[in-house]
Structure 1
């Protein structure tokens, strides 16, 4: 399979002061005053809803990360004079957008980005705000987009319906991606994690300015999907994020996945430096060479090197992550932590649909299919032939001579979903609860009707939940760039409102429940109850109990071997 198609799977692989809430309102525009200056927004509406939402696009939350600021932690945005126009979308962060759009088109995902290179810039540290009332003190939902830390943008996620239908302020951010966002030499010269530190800076901006938009700075919930969920999981244990949010929602992602944290980040640096012909001198000289390289050359290198195939961008930098995230979780006090967390029922179908093989499908082909996806989320020693056979022996009940291709495919989907998503998510959930926190766990099992014609199987897969938690079907298509349309059936219209209500209830009270919704029990280590989210929600128990124990033992043996042979990098 070619690099292009292979790469697509990684895409779906984040001080309190009073701010004046004075504003001017015309028919279709509004001006508010923040600590940094005045901002002009625009009035938007969800479909079939006359209630206005005030949208503010591309507000800078940090100085441009260009010149000497490249590869540096973000610096707070400076005040401006006059009224800043925030009525149009500005810039997307540098990325391989052509590959991203190809994936969205192939998989029929309504997350398309502009094809025009003029939309992309290093100067991209912006956020969008949607609010139904600038004079209120509403809960704030702070969205961190996914895309494997290599692609994506907060601009794609229109918060109009979520805000209008639920009386909540929605914030969606950009952060630096790929080499520009996560390049590290593995030492203090270039520690990395700039993209995560961008998210922290955006949270600080919200803390200081969200009152001007009708938001309550003491009721901020961070939520994200895929790499956005990795980000949320990271903020739960990073000392840099302390006191910047109240609740956290994690959709389809855990920082405790085997390969999210890079054990040797200098490899990424050496790769891009060589590509840019920065090969002579000391390590400082090489860093300066890369820093001074024109961004167009870096953009070309991103496309040439195929960074969508990379997965392990996060590093132990000594600041955002003083230690490996695993140890931060093992040592954390979560007594003040409340999370809502879960996955879709068949997470990896979206990725396995891109896998193909030649000839007859047999046991060896089955192992190749498992390795195809697990290899993206795991280190090489995890997917050795010995370990693949161990996994297969646990999941296959029959004599392999009696198993047909359809059964093999179903088992491959089950294995890869369990290992790459559900085990890391449940591992994080159990750790939080064991160490004093509260959690509400879910499986999203609804199959979107508008996707039925585009899939080989009727399953709920990665990203499906987003289109209901944001209420995409209640909005007109964005006019800034071509987008695929989301439509709801009559039943899905009700379901989408239920999904948004669960999420907003949690952001408001730290509990998704209300009298008008099916009960969602709190997760406990005793009964492991979780919500099965579909048109008629139900409750499940003993979440993947036997399988979780298998994966826990499986990974423990691998980690023991790594410790034995000294292959772990735990601190800067």
Structure 2
């Protein structure tokens, strides 16, 4: 029941691939000043300090997720003192923070700590370790000249090392099969089998997640395009991220099917090849798992799910951005945090050179997000501090798969790149050894490092 005296609460999980980043780089002044909302930003342990597999029965090694849960427990106990309603808590995050949100939605340990969830540009389509498998820890220990013959001695040695040394290895890997994440083979199984909490969920991606910033990790892609022969050479390494979800599979099994899905065999135009490469990377790293998660949560009849694709190309943020880049990874953050609405020191002029359409888009996004946090429906402005004339955002259902194309002129559509989504969510898992039934499993009984942290660096460039 809503309290007339307390505001909805939104708890932000910062980005950075669960390995870098900090809460204090995300400004919440604009959305909180314009909307009836209390925002909380939290920190959590990162990298190996947050996800190092151990034999500790109390943590399973997912201590970063435990940090997030402890923060939510603190919010439940204390947020009324700050004007917040503990019965209307929404967790939200972008990139690595969005991974964190989705992991909390998968965890039975977090039920009751929040009511709604928002994932921007990412859900946990990641590789995972199984509880008791300390291979990753042993690899780290060996690299730091620690013994691996005795587990206790190995852990004692690791604890003696500087934190900086412990953090330097590879991307975090959540641990499944313990108390925090369900007993499953991997994270894909949890989503496919719909073993997720029954919560309202708003989630989506940009239409060019891999079209500029993250594309910098693939130097073979240039302004002149991508050579078709080079594509075949680099693709296996680029697909290792998605292949890591399927520990029993072989990445070589999916390389040619991916090429067949995305490339015209009669074209070797490097511009065409580059653009299709960007699309396939956006789909496999971000969009497909987002759709899979939306389907998993929507299987709960009472859970309200809303999907979006952010499609606005923002030129004012990076004037040097090439024309072929679409809405890049992190572009939505500027609008959701109200950056276009900041004034300069005099208060008489805008601080940044966004257009009036972009300022309106920012107001729309903040309204959608806060409406969802308040009412479970981004189009329902009941109790809003100010009204916006918003395009109606249709609910995502497993049959219709409706979504909103977020832009300066937003519109609704259905079944986002349906053929590609089925390819990544059904055909690829099958090729990697999974038993896949078209349309996914029935609902069970219980209800490379990403650079989202670069958002703060981009904001600093604007200052």
User: Shorter-chain TM-score category?
Assistant: 0.7 to 0.9
Contact in 2 for aligned 1:137/1:214 (Cα 8 Å): yes
| CA displacement at 1:184 relative to structure 2 | 1.1
In 2, Cα distance between equivalents of 1:334 and 1:301:
32
Report the counterpart of residue 357 of structure 1 in structure 2.
220
**Alignment map for 1:144-543 (pairs within 5 Å):** 144-185=13-54, 188=57, 191-255=60-124, 257=125, 259-262=126-129, 266-279=134-147, 282-291=150-159, 293-294=160-161, 297-302=162-167, 305=168, 307=169, 310-316=170-176, 318-324=178-184, 325-329=187-191, 336-349=198-211, 350-357=213-220, 361-379=226-244, 384-399=251-266, 402-436=267-301, 437-456=303-322, 457-475=324-342, 487-514=353-380, 516-543=389-416
Aligned counterparts of 1:268 and 1:189: Cα–Cα separation in 2? 19
1:315-337 Cα shifts (integer Å, max 9, x gaps): 12512113234444455576842
- In structure 2, the partner of 1:139 is 8
Q: Write the deviation string for residues 187-221 of structure 1: whole angstroms up to 9, x where unpaired.
A: 74973010010000000000000011110011100
Aligned length: 411
* Aligned mates of 1:283, 1:503 — CA distance in 2: 46
> What is the deviation of 1:525?
2.5
C-alpha separation in 2, matches of 1:348 and 1:458: 9
CA distance in 2, matches of 1:285, 1:199: 29
Distance change in 2, residues 1:136/1:413 (3 Å): same
SS in 1 for 2:40: strand
Structure 2 residue runs of 5 or longer lacking an equivalent are: 346-350, 381-387, 437-463
Contact 1:345–1:460 (8 Å) recurs in 2:
yes
Q: Tell me: CA distance 1:278–1:510, structure 2 relative to 1, closer, same or farther (3 Å).
A: same
Rate the CA distance shift 1:155–1:361 in 2: closer, same or farther, 3 A.
Answer: closer
Counterparts of 2:251 and 2:188, CA distance in 1 = 23
Provide the C-alpha distance between the structure 1 equivalents of 2:428 and 2:148, rounded to a whole number of angstroms.
Answer: 40
Structure showing greater Rg: 1
Structure 1 residues 101-137: Cα deviation after superposition (integer angstroms, max 9, x where no partner): xxxxxxxxxxxxxxxxxxxxxxxxxxxxxxxxxx940
Q: Return the alpha-carbon distance in structure 1 between the equivalents of residues 233 and 134 of structure 2.
A: 29
SS at match of 2:87: strand
Moved more, 414-423 or 450-459: 450-459
2:251, 2:18 → 1: CA distance? 26
Q: Would the alpha carbon gap of residues 386 and 374 (structure 1) be closer, same or farther in structure 2, given more than 3 Å must change?
A: closer
Q: TM-score, normalised on structure 2? A: 0.81
Does structure 1 conserve the Cα–Cα contact (< 8 Å) formed by 2:254 and 2:428? no
Deviation at 1:458, TM superposition (A): 3.7
Residues 514-572 of structure 1, C-alpha deviation per residue, up to 9 Å, x if partnerless? 46211111112232221000001011122222222222332332442699xxxxxxxxx
How much has 1:464 moved relative to structure 2?
Answer: 0.8
- Deviations along 1:394-432, whole A, 9 cap, x unmatched? 222342xx3211011011011111111111110111121
8 Å Cα contact 1:224/1:249 also seen in 2: yes
Cα distance change, pair 381–445 in 1 and its aligned pair in 2 (3 A): farther
| Distance change >3 Å, CA 358–CA 410, structure 1 → 2 | closer
Please tell me whether the aligned partners of residues 262 and 312 of structure 1 are also in contact (alpha carbons under 8 angstroms): no
Q: Is the 8 A contact 2:98 2:123 kept in 1?
A: yes
Unaligned runs of 5+ residues in structure 1 are: 1-134, 479-484, 564-572
String of CA shifts for 1:313-359, please: whole Å, max 9, x gaps.
21125121132344444555768421111100011122123322399
Going from structure 1 to structure 2, the CA distance change for 1:542 and 1:152 (only over 3 Å counts) comes to same
Please, what TM-score do these two structures have when normalized by structure 1? Answer: 0.67
Q: Is the 8 A contact 1:467 1:486 kept in 2?
A: no
Cα–Cα, structure 1 residues 486 and 387, in superposed 2: closer, same or farther, change >3 Å? farther
State the superposition RMSD in angstroms.
Answer: 2.8
Alpha-carbon distance, 1:285 to partner: 1.7
